[in-house]
Amino acid sequence: MSSLEINVLQKTLPGRFRLKGLGVVVSIAIAGIAIYALTHALKKVNFDEVLAIVERTSIGTLAVALTLVACSYLSLTAYDVLALRTIGRTEVPYRIAALASFTSYPIAHGIGAVALISPVIRYRIYSWNGLGAIDVANICFLTGLTFWLGNLTALGLSLSLAPGAISPMDYLPMELNRLLAAVLLLGVLGFVVWSWLSPRTLGTRRWPVRLPSGPMVLLQIAIGIFDLGAAALAMYVLIPANAHIGIFRLTAAFIAATLLGFASHTPAGLGVFDAAILIGLGGEDPEPLIAALLLFRLLYHFIPLVLALGLFGAVEGWRSLRGQRKP
């Protein structure tokens, strides 16, 4: 790998898309508050009951949840495919886009430094197909755009249907949460209209970023919602029915917890995501929810992380051997 290109890649994305000092402060604050809240929530938990609920979870339920997780990760590959089409690199085959997506997301989120790790892994995959550091930086930006468009749209729709779902987290009355939902949906709609009117670009002459067209933005939103919906449904089926948690309430809390975990930069949102779920959905009997969280962590984070590490290591080893055999 060219040391010059990787330095450009590492410096460009974090420098362009984060206010570093403020980001660190916000991340530490979110993580600190979440750890405090999680510690408080776990004080009276009966962990024997949690393990008993885990053991009672049927194989069929686990199979359905795992299928939904697979659907979520499959939709993530479309993030890269859309990004490649937007920057005009349609010659890159789907298998390479899928490989870059499946290895970069679980590893980067598992480590926690998404803005640094994801571009490096993508560069290692895409550089063998002729993409440079700027191409990969654009792909990372566009996949991030798909993530945020899908999440904000899904959050707006969920809050419209269940405005009280995140009140335990934001301490706002349902009327203000409905207003927040309207603002989010109008913001996304405004971006769609703005993108539809004419081709748009961001960045500088040195690093131009071509934005997707209006129809492509709608496709981004649909894929983002599908990805998030599949992940939320995976957790929903793992929660015992006697917990009486509605799907729209869970979806709104799940999205808010996902965004807080992402903002904290902790590995896989560890502690932050869990605290947000427990605060948003927990009640006097948190054991079923904690059991579902443990199973969800296993299916959605741990197993994909192990598979991604093994796959990335195998690809790197094969390419290294292939390079040594070349005259």
Which of 129, 43, 62 is CA-nearest to residue 90? Answer: 129
Mean pLDDT of 258-283: 80
Q: Could you give the percent of the chain with pLDDT greater than 90?
A: 42
Q: Is pLDDT larger for residue 110 or for residue 62?
A: 62
The answer to whether 184 and 158 have CB atoms below 8 angstroms apart is: no
Domain assignment present for 269 = yes
* pLDDT confidence of residue 324: 59
Domain assignment present for 27 = no
Angle, alpha carbons 15-33-291 (nearest 5°): 105
Domain assignment present for 188 = yes
Residue 18 clears pLDDT 70, i.e. is over it: no
* pLDDT confidence of residue 70: 96
Q: Is pLDDT larger for residue 267 or for residue 132?
A: 132
Domain assignment present for 28 = no
Domain assignment present for 167 = yes
- With tokens 């999440």, the residue in question is 151
Domain assignment present for 325 = no
- Give the mean pLDDT of the chain: 83
Residues 6+ apart with CB under 8 A from 194: 200
* pLDDT confidence of residue 34: 61
Residue 89 clears pLDDT 60, i.e. is over it: yes
Secondary structure of 274-327 in the HEC alphabet? HHHHHHHHCCCCCHHHHHHHHHHHHHHHHHHHHHHHHHHHHHHHHHHHHHHHCC
Q: Is pLDDT larger for residue 205 or for residue 172?
A: 172
pLDDT tens for 299-317 read: 999 999 999 999 999 998 8
Q: Is 130 left (phi over 0), alpha (psi -120 to 50) or beta?
A: left
Determine the residue type at 268: A
Domain assignment present for 34 = no
Q: Is pLDDT larger for residue 18 or for residue 247?
A: 247
* pLDDT level of residue 72 (50, 70, 90 thresholds): very high
pLDDT tens for 207-255 read: 778 888 888 999 999 999 999 999 999 999 999 888 788 888 888 889 8
pLDDT tens for 133-155 read: 889 989 999 999 999 999 899 98
Can you give the length of the chain in residues?
Answer: 327
* pLDDT level of residue 27 (50, 70, 90 thresholds): low
Give the chain's domain count.
1
Q: How far apart are CA 180 and CA 246, in angstroms?
A: 20
* pLDDT confidence of residue 1: 45
> In this structure, what are the phi and psi dihedrals at residue 8, rounded to the nearest 5 degrees?
-60, -45
Structure tokens, 45: 């938990």
Q: How far apart are CA 285 and CA 283, in angstroms?
A: 5
Residue 112 clears pLDDT 90, i.e. is over it: no
* pLDDT confidence of residue 25: 61
* pLDDT confidence of residue 93: 94
* pLDDT confidence of residue 4: 44
SS3 for 261? helix
* pLDDT level of residue 33 (50, 70, 90 thresholds): low
Domain assignment present for 22 = no
Range of the domain at 161: 3-17+41-319
Q: pTM for this structure?
A: 0.84
* H or E segment and range at residue 74: helix 59-86
